[in-house]
Amino acid sequence: MITSDIMKTRTLIAAIVLALCANMFLTNPALAEKYVIAVPALRGLDATNLGSYLEKMAEIMTKRMGCDVSAQLYVYDYGDSLLEILLKEFGKGKADIGYVNGLEFVEYAQSGGSELVPLFMLSMNKKTTMDMCFYGRRGEFSKVSELRGKNWAGSNVRGARFLLYKSGFDEPVGKYFSSIRYMSDAPMSAMIALLAKKEIDVFSAFSTVMKVSGEMNKKDSIVEKLHCEAFEPTWVFVARKGTPQMRIAEMRKLMLNSHNDPDFATFKFAFQLIDGKFVPVDEAALKKAEPIISLMQKGGWKKEDAEFHKKYQHGK
């Protein structure tokens, strides 16, 4: 049983991708093309059930299409690079379609990478950029400067580092807060429990994650949003370089209209959950992320993040 709202959302999105890919080939059922969709799944969130679910869907689609379409599950941990996983599998010819985090895609494009063909993005909260926020106990803090010396938790330090920088505090998270700890935001309830027990005073997370959790809709929630900044472009769906242009065009057309397509009415609640849909690649949103990449590179934030995961997540 998959208990995480985030994993449920990713499962639904993966299902949409698979269904739409199936429809793409229905127009040419005689073709014997093979396509593998890479589906990343966070470790510990019942990945086995997720994999079985997607494999069953792929079996049904293969039968309908007369074409081999399959889903390959890739289990990862926070701190791992989805980009590296995807490039590795694309390079081996083991996957053809997948998605990467927005900042990773922007950094990859800046470096001159050309093995990924951007297809479309997934909007969330009607936007193609996700806000990173500090959350604390309701009524306890009113500004970031009041958080100095408090206890922080999060799934990574890059987001918190950016929030501190934008608030005028360009210093490591471990220096600004009196204590820091790793905590996954999937499920979000674990982080909120720490806040309720006063084991932490503040945590950082994407506002989209909080929205999916439903926490901010609770009248008796102890959580309060303290400070937010536009931080990362939403997921960028990509195809392996060399994928036929005709297939890329067909896929884009189908997915960009999927929210209005009656054939995919079953999946509409997934779009409603995240208040989003598949949208064209937002070049403006990707461009706005370039200065953030520069900050991360010049400030050593990626190294700081890697050390955080090594020490606090893996205990090494």
In the chain, the domains with their CATH numbers are 5-126+234-281 (3.40.190.10), 129-231+291-313 (3.40.190.10)
Q: For residues 4 and 8, what is the distance between their CA atoms, to the nearest angstrom? A: 6
* 104 sits in which H/E element: helix 102-110
The region that residue 102 occupies, defined by phi over 0 for left and psi between -120 and 50 for alpha, beta otherwise, is alpha
**Residue 111: burial class (beta carbons within 10 Å; 0-12, 13-18, 19+):** exposed
- Terminal alpha carbon distance of the chain: 31
User: CA nearest 96: which of 10, 175, 25?
Assistant: 25
Give strand pairing partners of 122: 278
Which pLDDT score, from 0 to 100, does residue 38 have?
A: 84
Which pLDDT score, from 0 to 100, does residue 212 have?
A: 82
Which pLDDT score, from 0 to 100, does residue 55 have?
A: 57
Structure tokens at 91: 């390079």
Which pLDDT score, from 0 to 100, does residue 31 have?
A: 47
Which pLDDT score, from 0 to 100, does residue 46 have?
A: 45
Low-confidence ranges of the chain (pLDDT < 70): 1-32, 44-67, 69, 263-267, 269, 315-316
Which pLDDT score, from 0 to 100, does residue 64 have?
A: 46
- Cα–Cα distances in angstroms (integers) from residue 115 to residues 89, 131, 176, 207, 236, in the given order: 12, 28, 39, 31, 14
Give the Cα-Cα-Cα angle 285, 288, 294 (nearest 5 degrees). 135
Determine contact, residues 203/110, Cβ cutoff 8 Å.
Answer: no
Q: For residues 255 and 231, what is the distance between their CA atoms, to the nearest angstrom? A: 25
Q: For residues 75 and 85, what is the distance between their CA atoms, to the nearest angstrom? A: 10
Strand order in the sheet with 116-122: 68-76, 34-42, 97-100, 236-240, 116-122, 278-279
Which pLDDT score, from 0 to 100, does residue 171 have?
A: 96
DSSP state of 124: B
Which pLDDT score, from 0 to 100, does residue 32 have?
A: 58
Report whether the peptide linkage leading into residue 233 is cis, meaning its omega lies within 30 degrees of zero. Answer: no
Which pLDDT score, from 0 to 100, does residue 271 have?
A: 75
The model's pLDDT over 201-260, given as tens digits with 9 standing for 90+, comes to: 999 999 988 988 888 889 899 999 999 999 999 999 999 999 888 778 877 887 788 788
Which pLDDT score, from 0 to 100, does residue 132 have?
A: 98
Structure tokens at 116: 């990924």
DSSP per-residue letters across 2-42: ---HHHHHHHHHHHHHHHHHHHHHHTSTT---EEEEEEEEE
DSSP state of 131: E
Q: For residues 84 and 64, what is the distance between their CA atoms, to the nearest angstrom? A: 33
